[in-house]
Chain A
Amino acid sequence: MKMIEVANLTRKFGGFTAVDSLTFTLDRGEIFGLLGPNGAGKTTTVRMLCCLISKTSGSARIGDLDTSDSDDAMKIRKMIGLVPDNVGLYETLSAYANLEFYGRMYEFPEKQLKENIQKYLKMLDLWDKKDSPVGSFSKGMKQKVSLARALVHDPEVLFMDEPTANLDPEAAKTIRDVILDLRKENRTILLNTHNLDEAQRICNRIGVLKTRLIAVDTPENLAKLVSGRKTVILLEEMNNKVLGVVRALNPRSVETEGNKIIVGMADPDRETPAIITAIVSAGGKVRSVSETGASLEDIYLHLVRE
């Protein structure tokens, strides 16, 4: 079942186009990462999907509800959770009071609310600090409370805007683990992030956004889309004769790094044996052969610079 359906979604601010003709869908239980540089339109997209700001054109549906219908908008807000880029907590209130307030604003039943507050504060290692004012918390702890706030009313769809930005590795890992647990619970998550490694580890699919959506696919397919795969050949000793025979076979690219020859090729299964045979014929001694794909960073930089 499609939980988010976006078609030609556009938002302009005066003459400036922040989001241009965005089209994508998310299935129930899917984690979709939106990658893009600052100003690419990630936050504007999330705000439109959360019914916080209007669209200029196009359509966006959450479940079977239309974000541009005011009655539907109220229902959508009830079924979604938002982790904004700024934690936006009430610093003088305790973590418990913050969650209790939001749970009530989400019209969540009181008994379940108390159970959920306990569940999420314990899950995020904050139960012992539940009565402390949030203002006394570290950045990581505040981000955890912000995540708990987005979850406290058991939303079906979650929007997360840079949830691990500027966090220490331990806090970031806790949040990533919770996100992965949420996937097991079949929640649909749209994750805005700058963290390529995080996107690769967590997301089922990734969209690269630069005002327009310039690519959408699984991390693995995106890697193939951009630069194909590379074969790394480690030689006992590098020499020009060996390098010459490799270049003579016209692979997509040839780079050297110490005693390594890194060969880019469109079809490694077919091309690698021929290259190894040529190297051995030229007197080269091969110590090992391995294969590598393009990193998400390569893909991202390639796409946003295009």
Chain B
Amino acid sequence: MRLWKSWILAKKDLAIMRKRRSLATAILTFPLGLGIALPLLIEYIIIRKSATVTIVSSLLGAFPFFFIILSALLPLYISSYGIVGEKTEKSLEPLLATPTSDGEILMGKYIGAFLPVLGAIYLGLTIFMFLTDLLTVSKIGHFFYPNWGMAIVYFLGAPFACIYGVSTGVFVSSKVNNIQGAYQIGAFSLIPLYALYILGEIGIVSLSSNTNLLIISAGLLVAVILMYMLSRATFNRESILTKWK
């Protein structure tokens, strides 16, 4: 595997992303919006609802999970765009005709979707931490973030979810011919994550527990490995040119 070849392809995908405003906007808007909206929501709850420190702490522990879900959702869209875009522009054939292995092309697609999304997620998480600390320090009496739970989300949960989203996007893109379709089908694969959040909200699973966050991250890692194997099996020259829709 020659990573420098994958990087050439990733740079091309990043350049296309910069030119497509809607894509760049989608990547930045959601994490940044979440990074600003969630702290404001917490402030609203503190001021208007006079929430207790326990309730505020519980919310603060669970909110970063939103970023894990977003880390899987966004690359789904970007990687679908990367593959379906190549399909609709009919650029896969000349790309496959270059002296580049299937694995190098796939890795390029992964890097091109992973880097901007994870960058935007980290930016959103950083804003979220900063604003939350600013708005809650007077209520809680100390800075809530950074903490171990956030470290798990930051360094394990979000990157694994991101790679999972990319893999799912690549796999689903081989079956459909439009980005919206790929995104919608791919979004179904995230049902376990939505379910976890609901279970957290109704108190069955604690999303602020570091142990639980580690277990969720481990589960995501297993899903990443399975999904990568699936997308690797799907992404080969022969199938792309003879079987892909």
Question: Which A positions have Cβ atoms within 8 angstroms of B?
Answer: 13, 47, 50, 52-54, 74-75, 77-78, 80, 82, 84, 86-93, 97, 101-102, 104-107, 133, 146, 149
Contact = CB atoms under 8 A, between A and B. Distances in A.
Interface of B: 5, 8-9, 12, 15-16, 19-20, 89-101, 237-238, 241-242
Nearest to A149: B94
B93 A88 contact: yes
B241 A101 contact: no
A58 B100 CA distance: 25
In order of increasing CB-CB distance, the 3 nearest A-B pairs are A86-B90, A105-B98, A88-B91
Given A52-B96, A105-B8, A97 B90 contact: no
Contacts of B9: 105
Contacts of A50: 97
22 contacts: A52-B96, A52-B237, A53-B238, A74-B101, A75-B99, A77-B97, A77-B98, A82-B93, A88-B94, A90-B12, A90-B16, A92-B19, A93-B19, A97-B12, A102-B94, A105-B8, A105-B9, A105-B99, A105-B100, A106-B98, A106-B99, A146-B94
Contacts, number: 74
Given A53-B237, A75-B99, A93-B16, A13 B242 contact: yes
A157 to B, nearest CB: 12
B15 A97 contact: yes
B37 to A, nearest CB: 31
Nearest to B8: A104
A50 B20 CA distance: 32
A92 B97 CA distance: 21
Given A52-B237, A75-B99, 9 more contacts: A13-B242, A52-B96, A84-B93, A92-B20, A93-B12, A97-B15, A102-B98, A107-B5, A146-B94
Nearest to B97: A82
Contacts of A88: 89-95
Contacts of B20: 92
Contacts of B237: 52-53
Nearest to B243: A13
Of A47, A105, A107, which is in contact with the most chain B CB atoms at under 10 Å from its CB?
A105
Contact of A86 (B5, B93, B238): B93
A78 B96 contact: no
Contacts of A74: 99, 101
